Structure formats: structure tokens, C-alpha cells
């Protein structure tokens, strides 16, 4: 099985590095100059500096060359996925497309699998998600991920072919649960970062994680997910990681809100758009999502951290 990774950000590059343990990999960058530099320098100096690219990685900006592979890993941000798919729809037609992004599309309220199905109807979609930082994967450190695919036969094949020496994949057919676990935890991570940044302490973070996880489950069940999926790697596992480490962009963004300092505007923070999309859907469905709604307001600047805290603390008391 041949593999290409479409998207040369930190995560896409790290996946390509890990997958070379199974054979040659093509890494596609839309930027021709960046692709040439990476191919020559054998390093992604912009997104993953200090990590050497194995000789088994071929970096290219030629989409036709990249899409010759049997399996294409779509390592692009969630809010840019649709445009990338539409731009290269003819080259992607009929291919196995594995989304490697986490979020809910703001314009449609859909997850990555549904976006693939809408834009490339004859593609065979799957999703790779779970607790994973690019630096850890690129360094060969171990983690376990969820491979979600509604087609059980394809899912088993992908599980076997994409498992590497440091990436252990667990399979599920619940693509909705896997999509939402990976997306919604980013929202809670922003809230936890804001709590720590504001000096509220670890106890407050634990409370936000716990009550936030309850919201994640509530929302996912409403959308048709299986309850056990959120208890796995794509839900609870990813939540624990992103709410407790500054390697998480969403958590770092929350820290900047709590500390009232500027955040790097060039850094993708998927949880911001997801919080907005999640809040709009929850409101339309009459679903109570106080933490997620507060994070959306905080991220947009509608609330200060102090106002956000008071909003949550002043809610009516209730049973757990």
C-alpha cells in the first residue's frame, strides 16, 4: 500500500515521518518553494524544526504525483478542508481519504467525514484522531489513536497498514463519535487554559474538564454517537492531553486569554470555530452547553475572563 500525506504542517510532517517505518511516503505541500526547501534541506524548518526527514519521504508540490498513492491522509485544518477537497476533487476522486483534522465546520456544522462525502462523493473516507502531538510522533514517542471508518473491511485494512512502530491504532465504525470527540475537546481545552492562565488553579481545571466532558457526551449523543466512543481515545484520551499541556495550541490560546496577552494569529486554533459552531447547533436543538457557550463568548471577546467565571459560577445549582 502506498501512502501520501497532503499537508506539510507539523502534524502532517510527523505522520509522514512515522509512516516511513512501513515504506516510502510522499509528503505534499501546496507551496512549491517550501516543498523544494524541505526536499533539499531534509527538514520542515517552518513547522517542525530540528527534526530530520527520513530519506524515504519525497516532498512535492505536484498534486498529481501525490495522489498516485493508494491512501491519502488529509492533514489540513478543519476550516480549510472543504476548499482543499474542492480544489483537487478530480485528483481525489475514488481515493481512500483519511481525514487527520479535528473540528466542526463553521459554515455547515459538519465533521470531516461528512465534508469529504459532500465534496468527493465517490471517495472512501476515514478519520484518524486521538491524543497526539506532532513533536511526540516525529520523535518516535508512542501513542494510540482511533481509526474511524464506517466500512469495516476498509477500516481493518487501514488499521493494519497505518499502524507503525510508535502509532497503535484502534478501530471503530462510529465515525460521528470519533469526529465529535476530537472536535469538542478543543473547546474545553481553551476553557481549561483560560482557567490556568487566570490563576484559578488545578482544581478549577479538573472541574472544567469533568463538566466539559459531560457536555461533550451530551452533544455527541444528540448527534447520534455511541456512548462508549467518547470514553475512548478520541474523546476522553484526547481531552486529558489537550487540557494539560502547553503543546496544545487550544490550551495555549486559552492561557493567553487568561493572562490577557496577545496570541500568535498565525497559529491555527480549531477550538475557536468549533465553539461557535457547537453553540449554534446546541441553541437550535435546545441543548444546555454552558461551558462551551462561555468559551465561544470568551474567544470572540464578548466576555472577559472575569465575566466568564461569574457566568458559570452564578448558574442555578443542580444535580450532577
Q: E strands within 7-91?
A: 25-28, 43-44, 48-52, 57-60, 71-74
Residues ≥6 apart with Cβ < 8 Å to 240? 131, 209
How confident is the model at residue 281, as a pLDDT? 96
Give me the helix-helix angle, 249-259 and 290-300, nearest 10°: 70
**Residue 172 Cα to chain centre, angstroms:** 17
Nearest-angstrom CA–CA distance, 106 and 108 = 6
Q: What are the per-10-residue average pLDDT scores of the chain (320 residues)?
A: 96 98 97 97 97 98 98 97 98 98 96 98 98 97 98 98 98 98 97 97 96 97 96 98 97 97 93 96 96 96 92 89
Contact 67, 92 (CB under 8 A): yes
How confident is the model at residue 26, as a pLDDT? 98
Q: What is the pTM of this model?
A: 0.95
How confident is the model at residue 317, as a pLDDT? 87
How confident is the model at residue 320, as a pLDDT? 83
**Residue 140 Cα to chain centre, angstroms:** 20
Contact 48, 134 (CB under 8 A): yes
How confident is the model at residue 319, as a pLDDT? 85
Which amino acids are annotated catalytic? 185
Best CA proximity match to 129, nearest among 83, 188, 175: 175
Nearest-angstrom CA–CA distance, 216 and 200 = 22
Nearest-angstrom CA–CA distance, 318 and 320 = 6
How confident is the model at residue 1, as a pLDDT? 87
Write out the H or E segment, with its range, that includes residue 97: strand 96-99
Amino acid at each position: 500500500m502506498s501512502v501520501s500525506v497532503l499537508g506539510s504542517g507539523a502534524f502532517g510532517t510527523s505522520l509522514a515521518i512515522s509512516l516511513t517505518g512501513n515504506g516510502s511516503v510522499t509528503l505534499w505541500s501546496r507551496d512549491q518553494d517550501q516543498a523544494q526547501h524541505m526536499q533539499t534541506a531534509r527538514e520542515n524548518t517552518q513547522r517542525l524544526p530540528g527534526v530530520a526527514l527520513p530519506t524515504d519521504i519525497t516532498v512535492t508540490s505536484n498534486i498529481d504525483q501525490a495522489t498516485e498513492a493508494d491512501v491519502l491522509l488529509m492533514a489540513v485544518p478543519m476550516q480549510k478542508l472543504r476548499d482543499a477537497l474542492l480544489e483537487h476533487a478530480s485528483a481525489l476522486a475514488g481515493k481512500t481519504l483519511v481525514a487527520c483534522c479535528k473540528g466542526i465546520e463553521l459554515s455547515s456544522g459538519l465533521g470531516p467525514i461528512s465534508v469529504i462525502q459532500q465534496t468527493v462523493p465517490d471517495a472512501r473516507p476515514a478519520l484518524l484522531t486521538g491524543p497526539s502531538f506532532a513533536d511526540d510522533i516525529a520523535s518516535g514517542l508512542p501513542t494510540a489513536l482511533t481509526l474511524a471508518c464506517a466500512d469495516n473491511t476498509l477500516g481493518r485494512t487501514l488499521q493494519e497498514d497505518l499502524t507503525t512502530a510508535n502509532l497503535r491504532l484502534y478501530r471503530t465504525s462510529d465515525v460521528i463519535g470519533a469526529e465529535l470527540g476530537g472536535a469538542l475537546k478543543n473547546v474545553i481545552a481553551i476553557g481549561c487554559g483560560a482557567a490556568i492562565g487566570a490563576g484559578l488553579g488545578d482544581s478549577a481545571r479538573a472541574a472544567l474538564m469533568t463538566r466539559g466532558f459531560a457536555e461533550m457526551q451530551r452533544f455527541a449523543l444528540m448527534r447520534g454517537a455511541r456512548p462508549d466512543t467518547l470514553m475512548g481515545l478520541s474523546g476522553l484520551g484526547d481531552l486529558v492531553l489537550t487540557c494539560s499541556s502547553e503543546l496544545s495550541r487550544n490550551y495555549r490560546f486559552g492561557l493567553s486569554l487568561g493572562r490577557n496577552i496577545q496570541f500568535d494569529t498565525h497559529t491555527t486554533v480549531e477550538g475557536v470555530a468549533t465553539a461557535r459552531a457547537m453553540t449554534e447547533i446546541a441553541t437550535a436543538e435546545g441543548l444546555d452547553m454552558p461551558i462551551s457557550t462561555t468559551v465561544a463568548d470568551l474567544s470572540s471577546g464578548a466576555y472577559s475572563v472575569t465575566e466568564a467565571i461569574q457566568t458559570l459560577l452564578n448558574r442555578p445549582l443542580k444535580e450532577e
